[in-house]
Copies of this chain bind each other. A is one copy, B any other.
Amino acid sequence: MTTWLDLPEDTLFGIDNLPYGVFSTADDPQRRRLGVAIGPWVLDAGAAARAVGSPDPLLEAASLDPLLAAGRAAWTRVRDALTRWLSEPAFRAVVEPCLVPRADVALHLPFTVGDYVDFYASEHHATNLGRLFRPDSEPLTPNWKHLPIGYHGRSGTVVVSGTPIVRPNGQRKAPTEAVPSFGPSRRLDIEAEVGFVVGAGSELGTAVPMADFAEHVFGVCLVNDWSARDIQGWEYVPLGPFLGKSFATSVSPWVVPLDALAPAARVAPPARDVEPLPYLDDRDAKEPWGLDLALEVRLNGTVISRPPFAGMYWTPAQMLAHMTVNGASVRPGDLYASGTVSGPDRGTEGALIELTWNGERPTELGDGTSRGFLEDGDEVTITATAPGPNGRRLGFGEVTGRVLPARS
């Protein structure tokens, strides 16, 4: 597949990617439009459809919501059309005027978030956190290899990349303290994650099997699940993380369609050393949904970590099957994230608490300072790429956010 656009060979937003987002321009900031990223441009998708004489209500919406709800057949049709318009020279004259420089647009939360679920699918992350939070127990809980552990997060505080993050206040109590104190979190952290955006919904009372993953999941984005470790550590027993997470979760503005990730980005997940129950058993699946995403975490411009998604123990297809096996329904706009992506090696941890081992070995930044946890003013940016066709790479854009001081 080639495009009539003159793009650099190594662009991460080539014709094989075409991630979806919602943008506005300075001349009409209230008008949100659906677009796909290509090279340094955004294609105004609704305008392009009109220009080629095939206006499409799904592309005229101010968010991805109608397209998400339309289901797999519509996703294929729309992607095929956009690909054609950007690759067949006959369309160039009418489509080219629908390109807007990416540098000139504001990007918005691309869909209305339904339920937000966060999993815990990296064995390395779960092991590290277990050691840090429960030093006197086995790091992995007995259930960990039997099911993808997850919990519901706060969907109302999912924000688009670039939204400032106000340092949360809350109750903090170190093990050595007798009673909790109140104040700004002193251990503000990140979690570099990959998010899965549900399109087509399911019926209440009915499970979604792993094989139906691609019928329900529309695409993939990047997630930074900001975490206040001191608040989390004090509150999370017995009902799980709450205020330590709910102040903000940032997502990247571009949603990479699942179609862009097949087949080059698919990899076999790790060997299952505990036999999975049948609804989670992907050992004989022709196409398990391991994904070879390479993440990169930058703190104030310095790369501090390169977490590999390919090693995640649980795949997003297993997560969806588990999340619905009790009959829970999914809706268009539901977002579920992988949990922190951490690899086995130093420099592949997706959270500061692991990377700096609870602040004991601060990570060095390019400006000569170092960090155990985040300071006010710090800016964290997570990016990712995946293999695409013909040895090219696909980009996911970035999710970024800067820490503002706590409010009193």
Give chain A's interface residues, CB within 8 Å of chain B: 114-115, 120, 130, 133-134, 141, 143, 146-147, 149-157, 159, 166, 168-171, 173, 179-180, 182, 204-207, 228, 231, 234-244, 246-248, 277-279, 322-323, 325-331, 334, 404, 407
Contacts and interface: CB of A to CB of B under 8 A. Distances in A.
Given A115-B155, A134-B238, 19 more contacts: A115-B154, A143-B171, A143-B180, A143-B234, A143-B235, A147-B171, A149-B235, A151-B152, A152-B152, A154-B328, A156-B328, A156-B330, A156-B334, A170-B326, A182-B279, A239-B240, A239-B241, A240-B241, A243-B328
B146 A171 contact: yes
Contact of A156 (B114, B147, B240, B322): B114
A110 to B, nearest CB: 18
A228 B327 CA distance: 12
A115 B242 contact: no
18 contacts: A130-B238, A133-B238, A143-B171, A143-B180, A151-B151, A151-B241, A152-B153, A156-B330, A156-B331, A169-B325, A169-B327, A206-B407, A207-B407, A236-B238, A236-B239, A237-B238, A238-B240, A243-B328
Nearest to A206: B407
Contacts of A248: 204, 327
Nearest to A274: B179
Which residue among A130, A149, A152, A168 has the maximum number of chain B CB atoms within 10 Å of its CB?
A152
Contacts of A228: 326
B154 A152 contact: yes
A179 B329 CA distance: 27
Nearest to A237: B141
